[in-house]
Amino acid sequence: MDPSEVEFLAEKEMVKIIPNFSLDKIYLIGGDLGPFNPGLPVDVPVWLALNLKQRQKCRIVPPEWMDVEKLEEMRELERKEDTFTPVPSPYYMELTKLLLNHASDNIPKADEIRTLVKDIWDTRIAKLRLSADSFISQQEAHAKLDNLTLMEINTIRSLLLDSLNCMFKLRSNLQPGSSKGQFMDY
């Protein structure tokens, strides 16, 4: 999956905006939005929030977890634990990037937030690389990955899956006459 496709999914998450215009309810195929009244908060999907923000029709309210103290705590916890800690949002990385790139003026301490989220990401990806390495070398057949986000899984996807499939191919060719011995070569 392309990272932009993961971002596409992240854009469906809801975020609060403060519009500066009036509009009655919109009946989208995916659900109803609004009504919109100047100054009154309303929940919309991120893809719409970004579009409205770019057209200067709203202010974006950062999600609760996008707060320096909360993120510092999460970073400490993530660094302490060997396993993956629960994430503030299944799309924390994408939402941080999207909201900070388009609405940093609406987010207090945006630079600190960017750094904190990157630190959390780096710690988790380092753990993921270790897990993937051990999964392959121990030749495990199953793993539970509850707290991993789609973006993190996607980062390791092709390396992990291609290695595992390659190893399976090599192993099954050791046994002559094993079924499904015909695989595509890349």
Q: How far apart are CA 93 and CA 77, in angstroms?
A: 17
Contact 150, 128 (CB under 8 A): no
Nearer to other proteins, 61 or 160 (CB): 160
Residue 125, sorted as left (phi over 0), alpha (psi -120 to 50) or beta, turns out to be alpha
The site string for other proteins over 144-163 (x = CB under 8 A, - otherwise) reads xxx-x-x--x---x--xx--
For the range 65-69, what are the long-range contacts, defined as Cβ-Cβ under 8 Å and sequence gap of 24 or more? 65/89, 65/92, 66/95, 66/96, 66/99, 66/107, 66/113, 67/113, 68/108, 68/109, 68/112, 68/113, 68/116
Contact residue for other proteins among 142, 170, 177, 186 (CB under 8 A):
142
The strand pairing partners of 36, in sequence order, are 23
Q: How far apart are CA 59 and CA 105, in angstroms?
A: 9
Does 165 interact with other proteins (rule: CB under 8 A)? yes
Q: How far is the CB of 172 from other proteins (least distance, A)?
A: 8
Element housing 169 (H / E): helix 150-172
Contact residue for other proteins among 29, 39, 82, 186 (CB under 8 A):
29
Does 1 interact with other proteins (rule: CB under 8 A)? yes
Nearer to other proteins, 104 or 154 (CB): 154
Does 18 interact with other proteins (rule: CB under 8 A)? no
Given the rule CB under 8 A, which of 43-51, 66-74, 108-116, 122-130 is the region that contacts other proteins? 43-51
Given the rule CB under 8 A, which of 58-66, 71-79, 112-120, 168-176 is the region that contacts other proteins? 168-176
Contact set with other proteins (CB under 8 A): 1, 5, 8-9, 21, 23-24, 26-31, 33, 47-48, 51, 135, 139-146, 148, 150, 153, 157, 160-161, 164-165, 167-169, 171-172, 180, 182-184
